[in-house]
Structures are given as structure tokens and as C-alpha cells.
Chains A and B, each alone.
Chain A
């Protein structure tokens, strides 16, 4: 079974631009969560989508948004990029029930110049 895929793998943007990252979950998984990993803050939860609805949200500003499509694929958008948004963005998928294990994709490395 194919794993979680994320595109693109690497991205360079400049301050003020916006970016859209994509995540395709494992077949059958309905939950997609997004995390940001930085050296200073570690892995931090951004938000989670289940059946096209945002079910949980972390403590990130409104510049970070996402959506989920009917096929469970998810996109994450960051507007008005700041230097501090440079990070590895990871998505994880699961069936979405209590205690279900989340499986991670390889991540998208975003560099903001």
C-alpha cells in the first residue's frame, strides 16, 4: 500500500509570497493532520481535517490555513510568508478514529528568503 505523499518536496519562496503544499493520504485514511518542524520549536501541530472539515487546530496565526477534498487529499496554504515560516512541513494520515496511529509523509522543506 502506498504511503503518504507530499508535494513539492522542496520549495523556496520570498517574504510576502504565499505557498500551497499538498498531501495525499494513505488509501482509506480520512484524517489528515499537518505539523511544522523547526529546530527551535520541534514538531508542532497545525491542524487536522477529517471528512473535509477542520476538526482540530493548533496555535498558529490565521496566515496558515488548509482544506481537504472529497478524496481526502489535503492542501495547506501559508499567506504573507515570513522568514520564520522556514521549516519542514509534515502531513500525517490515519483512519481518524480514537487511538488510530498517524503515518507521516516525507515532508515539504520550505525556505523563505
Chain B
């Protein structure tokens, strides 16, 4: 049962344009969402997070949008840079029990074309 889904395994975007990565979830108990970026042979690097009490969080070139009614979140990267080429994972957790378990999506490989 895949509770967090990233339906696009890969995405190619021209340098300087906007990259939009999507994530859907099925468990309505999730109330904290994160995006991680991963290079080969390295651990995931935290990018940005959002609590379910918000619908948008912005940090520099990265913005995460949350649509609770649709159980959907997206990560916008603008402008896209070659160094953004990596695999992006969305993750979700239930925080009200001090639950540290993250449930991850399967990842989207983003390629930025110079």
C-alpha cells in the first residue's frame, strides 16, 4: 500500500525555467510533509517542509504548496539550475504522537538541461 506517490519517475526542464514536482498521498492522518533531494551514493538532503496548517512555504528558489482537500503537494523550483539535477523524494509523517516515521514516495529524477 503506497501511501505517498510520486507518479512521475522523471522530469526534464530547461535551465532557468520552473520545475514542478508533484506528490500525492492517501493517508489523511499525515500532517507534516517534507521534500528531500538525493544524489547518487549520498543520503537525502532536506530541502523544505510544510505543516498541514499551512498551504504554502517558501525558501529561496524552493516553494512547496499543499492542497489538503486534494491530498496533493508540489515542489516548485524557480529558476532551475544544473545543480538541481537529482532525485527528489517527498515524505510525510504523522506528528501528533511524536512519531518520527517518514513515509517516502518513490522519487522523481529531475534533469536540468543547460
**A, B in one complex:** yes
Give A residues with C-beta under 8 Å from B: 4, 6, 31, 33, 35, 42-45, 48, 50, 55-56, 58, 90, 92, 94, 96-107, 109
Contact, CB under 8 Å: B100 / A102: yes
A69 to B24: give the CA distance in the assembly, Å.
37
Contact, CB under 8 Å: A56 / B36: no
Q: Mark B30-45, 1 if CB is under 8 A from A, else 0.
A: 0010101000011111
Contact, CB under 8 Å: B104 / A43: yes
Q: Is B99 among interface residues, defined by CB-CB distance under 8 A?
A: yes
Interface of A is mostly: strand
Q: Is B102 among interface residues, defined by CB-CB distance under 8 A?
A: yes
Contact, CB under 8 Å: B99 / A107: no
Give B residues with C-beta under 8 Å from A: 32, 34, 36, 41-46, 49, 51, 89, 91, 93, 95-107
Contact, CB under 8 Å: B44 / A33: no
Contact, CB under 8 Å: B95 / A99: yes
* B61 CB, min distance to chain A CBs, angstroms: 19
* B103 CB, min distance to chain A CBs, angstroms: 7
* B75 CB, min distance to chain A CBs, angstroms: 15
9 new A-B pairs (CB below 8 Å) besides A90-B44, A97-B98, A102-B100? A4-B43, A6-B43, A33-B102, A42-B107, A55-B98, A104-B36, A107-B42, A107-B43, A109-B41
A42 to B9: give the CA distance in the assembly, Å.
12
Contact, CB under 8 Å: A101 / B101: no
Given the contacts A42-B105, A42-B107, A104-B36, A98 and B43 also touching, CB distance less than 8 Å: no
Contact, CB under 8 Å: A98 / B102: no
* A42 CB, min distance to chain B CBs, angstroms: 5
Q: Out of A33, A90, A105, name the residue touching B100 (CB < 8 Å).
A: A33
Chain A residues near B51 (CB, 8 Å)? 99
Contact, CB under 8 Å: B36 / A58: no
Q: Which of B45, B100, B101 has the most CB of A within 10 A?
A: B100
Contact, CB under 8 Å: A45 / B102: yes
* A87 CB, min distance to chain B CBs, angstroms: 13
Contact, CB under 8 Å: B43 / A96: no
